[in-house]
Amino acid sequence: MNILTRITRPPNASYISTRNKASFDSPGSNEEDVDRLEKDLAMKQSQYGPCGLYCGACGAPDCDGCGSNRTDDYVKGCRFRKCAREKQVVFCCFCSDYPCPPLYEFMTDRWPHHWTMKPNLEFIKQNGLEKWLEAQKEEWTCRNCGAEIKWYQKVCACGRDLGGWDLPPDFRPE
Ligand code: SF4
Ligand code: SF4
Ligand SMILES: [Zn+2]
C-alpha cells in the first residue's frame, strides 16, 4: 500500500463504554461532563486514536478511523490500539504506564505526524476531548476554502500553500 495514502487516516468510538468513564479525567470532570463527552464522542466516531493521533488529518482511503468498524490492516494490527482497549483507556495519557517505551519510540520516530501525539495528549489532559477535537478540526481545515487538510498535503485544492510537512527523507512510496 502506498504510505502516502495510509498516513492520510486512522479511529470510531464504539469500543468506548461506560467502563472507560474514569479515563475522561479532564479538569473538572464529573458525571455530567463524562456523559456530555460520551454523547459528543458518539457523534464524532473515528476522529482519533488512543495514541493521540487525529484521524481527520490522516486520509487512509480504506479506513473510517482507528475506532471505526471499517479499518485497514495497519489499524487492525496496531499494538497501541489493542493495548489501550485491553487496558480500557480512551487515551494512552490516562494509562499508568504512559508513555510506555514502544509508544515513546513511535512518538519520537522519523514521522512528523507522530510528533503531534505528545502535545495532543497533553492538550487532552488539560482541556478535555471536546476542546481538542474542536481545535484539531480548526487546525486541519483550510482557512481559505474550508476543505479538510491532510498531514502531508502541501497545497489545498483551492491553491493555498499549506506549508505542509516533508515526508522522512528516506521514505520511498511502495
Ligand atoms: S492507535 Fe494505532 S492505528 Fe490507531 S491512530 Fe494510533 S497509531 Fe493509528
Ligand atoms: S501501555 Fe502504552 S500503548 Fe498501552 S495504553 Fe499504556 S501508554 Fe498506551
Ligand atoms: Zn483551501
Q: How does pLDDT run across 54-67, given as a tens digit for each residue?
A: 999 998 989 989 99
Residue 63 lies in a domain: yes
pTM (two decimals): 0.78
Q: Where are the alpha helices (DSSP H) in the chain?
A: 3-6, 31-43, 73-76, 79-87, 101-107, 117-127, 129-139
Domain count, the chain: 1
pLDDT of 59: 85
Residue 1 is predicted with a pLDDT of 39
The answer to whether position 8 is within a domain reads yes
CA–CA separation, 69 and 76 (whole Å)? 10
Q: What's the mean per-residue pLDDT of the chain? A: 80
> How many A from CA of 146 to the centre of ligand 3?
6
- Residue 161 has φ and ψ, to the nearest 5°, of -75, 125
The pLDDT of residue 52 is above 90: yes
Any idea what DSSP says for residue 148? B
pLDDT tens digit sequence for 93-106 = 999 999 999 999 99
Q: What is the 3-state secondary structure (H, E, C) of 64-83?
A: CCCCCCCCCHHHHCCHHHHH
Residue 12 lies in a domain: yes
Q: What is the CA radius of gyration of the chain?
A: 16
User: Is the minimum distance from the CB of 95 to ligand 2 under 6 angstroms?
Assistant: yes
Give the ligand at the shortest distance from the Cα of 103: 2
Domain that holds residue 68: 3-139
Q: Could you tell me if the CB of 160 is within 6 A of ligand 2?
A: no
Q: Which residues line ligand 1 (CB under 6 A)?
A: 10-11, 49-51, 53, 66, 75, 78, 80-81
Quick one: cell of 100? 510506555
